[in-house]
Structure 1
């Protein structure tokens, strides 16, 4: 379910704001894998938002005191960034039907 929600939000964000950078912070390995499959790369906290409204969402985290002590430069989460400037869309592989393909397909 989480993957489906993340995929839909990501696709909608890319459609509405195709040139925008998208970031995510998480300490969960499953979310990191999902992000990596979408094209996110790990970055330093300096490369993501400094908007106080965003960081207010972290107040419920048990590690928020670490974030505060480190002046929002790092915490136990991993910051990940999708930058459309560096993202290359995966292209589907097209196989041509050669003689070898025909032999394998009919054996």
Structure 2
């Protein structure tokens, strides 16, 4: 039975081949250690759930939809500047905004999709 071919490393600009099912080569795997952690390990545990629910009660409308003149219920608390594991930025309420799922998904796919890594 034939096996699946190796795939390129998912790190931007890296063309090394890795076994199918592996995302990153040995060199880049440490840079993406947060990609394999659970949401609990990333900080989105019980405390986050309580804080985000309270934030949504205080800010019930989607910020982006409001800017377009629509009134849509917010369901997600978004970090305006992605925290990338920085706990101070993660808990900074001035870095939070209320978004509907549609706006949050669009923001994540367009603005937060390709992180900039500094070495």
Q: TM-score range by the shorter chain?
A: under 0.3
TM-score, normalised with respect to structure 1: 0.24
Which of structures 1 and 2 has the bigger CA Rg?
1
Higher-helix-fraction structure: 1
TM-score, normalised with respect to structure 2: 0.22
